[in-house]
């Protein structure tokens, strides 16, 4: 056995493959859920252990809590937690059945009068929450919260009464956008990439792409970030790049960028891997636990994106 007080193992050298370094980072830092997700995606792991880990965050109302989304602490179910849970289930091919029916019932119970989702609901309940997430008694409908959920359910051919009005809300919200910010655009893309009406989705995505370029919402020159203004409330490093919108070559957002722009973006992403093997988070860090829990998620997403575009990860 090692002597008490022995020095910890050194961090993995980036002379190893990106995947090897990321694996060491995940085993060192990640929650059980992200450990099992990593194993599923990159180590031929099974889906059942991922579902088991996700169950720890599920509540009796069919929603999810317990800081599944790290910026929302405490046990209370929140729409953003439900969206995160659906992304996990989608990632392992299990976004359906009674589990998703329960989530849809929860989504129905917290929907706004127009059938969409708020970012959060119920006002302040005493649990810590990121200062940039509004906690109000009567929250408005949010494309940021609704778009990704509706897109996931359509992609998995889930049909539930909640989806009809929520889909109508997403169409209205996306097609009326005139001024936006990167996270909202990402939510719009998540909806459009899986919306059933493909000609309408393609037309809406084409318009959004022009808006993104006109409003300089994508940093096309990673070496000249000062040329791209940050949206109000964003952290100093919270620029968004082409790969943040087009996470795979099949995304409608891929057509927004030239091959050279996407190549520079992917070079930027690959170069962000840090000495410990993980990728950094660019959003505002408001509590010590948040970057610890979020970095493994960002790391898994970075590997997914690089692999989707044929970049070597190991």
Task: Output the CA angle 110-114-116, nearest 5 degrees.
Answer: 50
- Kind plus residue range of the DSSP H or E element containing 26: helix 18-29
- Chain centroid to CA 60: 24
Per-residue pLDDT of the chain (314 residues; tens, 9 = 90+): 444 444 445 556 656 899 999 999 999 999 999 999 999 999 999 999 999 999 999 999 999 999 999 999 999 999 999 999 999 999 999 999 999 999 999 999 999 999 999 998 766 678 999 998 887 788 899 999 999 999 999 999 999 999 999 999 999 999 999 999 999 999 999 999 999 999 999 999 999 999 999 999 999 999 999 999 999 999 999 999 999 999 999 999 999 999 999 999 999 999 999 999 999 999 888 999 999 999 999 999 999 999 999 999 99
Cα separation, 281 vs 273, in Å, equals 11
Question: Among positive and negative, which fits the CA dihedral 313, 244, 33, 104?
Answer: negative
Angle in degrees, 0-180, between the axes of helices 182-192 and 198-214, rounded to the nearest 10:
160
Give the number of other Cβ atoms within 10 Å of residue 1's Cβ. Answer: 4
Give pLDDT, residue 183: 97
Q: What is the pLDDT of residue 192?
A: 98
- Could you give the CA distance from residue 139 to residue 141 in angstroms, rounded to a whole number? 7
Question: Cα separations (Å) of 261 from 251, 254, 265?
Answer: 15, 10, 6
Strand ranges for 50-110 from DSSP E? none
**Three-class DSSP category at 98:** helix
Half-sphere exposure of 259 toward its Cβ, with a 13 Å CA cutoff? 0
For residue 111, give Cα distances in angstroms to 65, 107, 118.
Answer: 17, 6, 7
Query: Rounded to an integer, what distance in angstroms lies between the CA atom of residue 69 and that of residue 195?
Result: 25
Q: 286 to each of 61, 132, 134, 219, how far by Cα in Å?
A: 29, 9, 14, 24
Cα four-point dihedral sign 287, 293, 299, 302: negative
Instruction: Record the pTM.
Output: 0.93
Q: Which residues contact 257 (CB under 8 A, 6 or more apart)?
A: 218, 220, 242, 246, 265
Looking at residue 138, what is its pLDDT? 85
Q: DSSP secondary structure string, 232-285?
A: TT--TT----HHHH-SSTTSGGGGGS-HHHHHHHHHHHHHT--TTSPPPP-S--
Output the pLDDT for position 2: 43
Instruction: Tell the burial category of 91 from Cβ atoms under 10 Å away from its Cβ (0-12, 13-18, 19+).
Output: middle
């Amino acid at each position: 056995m090692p002597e008490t007080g022995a020095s910890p193992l050194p961090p993995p050298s980036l002379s190893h493959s990106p995947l090897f370094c990321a694996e060491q980072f995940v085993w060192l830092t990640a929650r059980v859920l992200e450990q099992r997700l990593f194993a599923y995606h990159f180590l031929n792991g099974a889906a059942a252990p991922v579902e088991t880990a996700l169950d720890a965050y599920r509540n009796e109302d069919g929603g999810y809590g317990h800081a599944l989304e790290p910026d929302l602490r405490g046990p209370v179910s929140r729409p953003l937690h439900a969206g995160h849970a659906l992304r996990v289930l989608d990632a392992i091919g299990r976004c359906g059945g009674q589990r998703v029916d329960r989530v849809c019932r929860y989504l129905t119970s917290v929907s706004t009068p127009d059938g969409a989702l708020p970012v959060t609901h119920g006002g302040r309940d005493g649990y810590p929450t990121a200062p940039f997430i509004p906690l109000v008694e009567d929250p408005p409908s949010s494309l940021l919260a609704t778009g990704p959920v509706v897109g996931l359910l359509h992609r998995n051919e889930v049909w539930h009464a909640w989806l009809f009005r929520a889909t109508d809300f997403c169409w209205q919200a996306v097609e009326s956008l005139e001024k936006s910010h990167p996270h909202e655009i990402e939510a719009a893309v998540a909806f459009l990439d899986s919306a059933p009406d493909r000609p309408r989705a393609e037309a809406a995505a084409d318009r959004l792409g022009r808006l993104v370029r006109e409003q300089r919402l994508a940093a096309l020159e990673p070496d000249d970030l000062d040329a791209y203004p940050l949206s109000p409330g964003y952290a100093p490093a919270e620029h968004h790049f082409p790969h943040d919108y087009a996470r795979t070559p099949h995304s409608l957002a891929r057509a927004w960028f030239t091959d050279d722009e996407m190549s520079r973006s992917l070079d930027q992403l690959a170069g962000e891997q840090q000495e410990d093997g993980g990728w950094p988070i660019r959003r505002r860090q408001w509590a010590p636990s948040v970057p610890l829990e979020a970095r493994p998620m960002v790391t898994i997403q970075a590997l997914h994106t690089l692999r989707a575009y044929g970049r070597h990860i190991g």
